[in-house]
């Protein structure tokens, strides 16, 4: 409804017969799911099911959800806390869809970013954190 310096106020009207706290937690959970669905439909192509085959569509949906989860794990593990609410579209424009050159220097592939790239610090910090991540070893 409105916000002041320290709090945000809202009104919920329900006929569910739940306690106020239970009603609040139920609706907050629904709001988060709605946000995820909106992001999947608008920014990750869930609104365009590719085939008429049920099996292919299941594979498509599973791949899409995997990509969505990978993006969110990337945000949690590699980006600063202020970027956790960043949308997939914003991440795509700020960190992924940038003009750069991949060059080979002394036998190593090096990504050369544009000189005046506004998010260069965030990109380099995320890349360094990503490089430090260790894959899990399967149980033997």
Per-residue confidence of the chain (140 residues) as pLDDT tens digits? 567 777 877 788 888 888 988 988 888 877 777 788 888 887 788 888 888 999 999 999 999 999 999 998 999 999 998 888 888 888 888 888 888 899 999 999 998 999 889 888 899 999 999 999 888 888 75
Q: Same domain for 104 and 125?
A: yes
Q: Same domain for 90 and 66?
A: yes
Q: Same domain for 39 and 60?
A: no
Q: What is the pTM of this model?
A: 0.68
DSSP-derived 3-state class of residue 39: helix
CB atoms within 10 A of CB 91: 20
Q: Same domain for 71 and 101?
A: yes
Q: Same domain for 7 and 72?
A: no
Q: Same domain for 39 and 63?
A: no
What is the domain extent for residue 67? Answer: 47-140
Q: Are 117 and 101 in contact (CB under 8 A)?
A: no
Q: Same domain for 93 and 126?
A: yes
Q: Based on the structure, what is the number of domains in the chain?
A: 2
DSSP annotation of 81 reads: G
Q: Same domain for 59 and 100?
A: yes
Alpha-carbon Rg for the chain in angstroms: 21
d(CA 41, CA 54): 19
DSSP-derived 3-state class of residue 114: coil
Q: Are 93 and 85 in contact (CB under 8 A)?
A: no
Q: Same domain for 30 and 56?
A: no
Q: Same domain for 94 and 26?
A: no
**Residues near 56 by beta carbon (within 8 Å), at least 6 away in sequence:** 50
């Amino acid at each position: 409804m409105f916000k002041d310096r320290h709090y945000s106020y809202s009104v919920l009207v329900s006929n569910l017969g739940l306690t106020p706290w239970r009603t609040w937690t139920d609706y907050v959970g629904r709001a988060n799911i709605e946000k995820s669905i909106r992001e999947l439909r608008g920014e990750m192509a869930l609104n365009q099911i590719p085939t008429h085959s049920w099996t292919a569509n299941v594979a498509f949906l599973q791949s899409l959800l995997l990509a969505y989860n990978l993006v969110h794990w990337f945000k949690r593990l590699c980006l600063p806390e202020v970027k956790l609410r960043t949308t997939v579209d914003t991440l795509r424009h700020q960190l992924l869809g940038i003009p750069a050159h991949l060059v080979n220097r002394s036998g190593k592939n090096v990504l050369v970013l544009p000189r005046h790239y506004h998010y260069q610090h965030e990109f380099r910090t995320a890349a360094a954190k990503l490089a430090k991540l260790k894959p899990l070893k399967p149980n033997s």
